[in-house]
Amino acid sequence: MKLTGGCLCGDITFEVNGEPLRMAQCHCDDCRKITGTGHNVQAFFKRDDITISGTPATHQSRSDAGTTRTRYFCPNCGSRLFTENSATPGGMGIAAGAFEDSTWFDPQAILYAAKRSEWDPIDPNKKCFDAMPV
């Protein structure tokens, strides 16, 4: 699968040549804050399958499991694009909405469903986890 995408202003673009390893929707407090809405949706790929053009800014935070999350965003327009986790080196998450065409996206799991905001409904047919499955 060949996929392309980028930020709102176009300073940062990316191309993926490969299949998503997994796809998830997360309702944790961090994802609520960074998105400014109810949840975050990401597809995870092998880092080697992703080519990034432009220079994203980064922010690091600690996950509940004590690992380091690095989030990449456009320093010009603020669009969130990529996420890395020290627990899964060699992998990278890409925000589903950043792709030019995301019709293929279909999250297999809903994470931190217990943290869901009342105003952010969940598809009842999806597999839900109260927190992060281990």
Q: Does 74 bind Zn ion (CB under 5 A)?
A: yes
What are residue 94's DSSP bridge partners? 43, 82
Q: Does 98 bind Zn ion (CB under 5 A)?
A: no
- 120: phi then psi, degrees, rounded to nearest 5: -120, 85
Q: Does 41 bind Zn ion (CB under 5 A)?
A: no
Closer of 11 and 15 to Zn ion (Cβ): 11
| Contact yes or no for 105/40 (Cβ under 8 A) | no
30: closest CA among 53, 8, 62? 62
Q: Does 31 bind Zn ion (CB under 5 A)?
A: yes
Q: Does 7 bind Zn ion (CB under 5 A)?
A: yes
| Contact yes or no for 92/47 (Cβ under 8 A) | yes
Q: Does 9 bind Zn ion (CB under 5 A)?
A: yes
Q: Does 76 bind Zn ion (CB under 5 A)?
A: yes
Residues that bind Zn ion (CB under 5 A): 7, 9, 11, 26, 28, 31, 74, 76-77
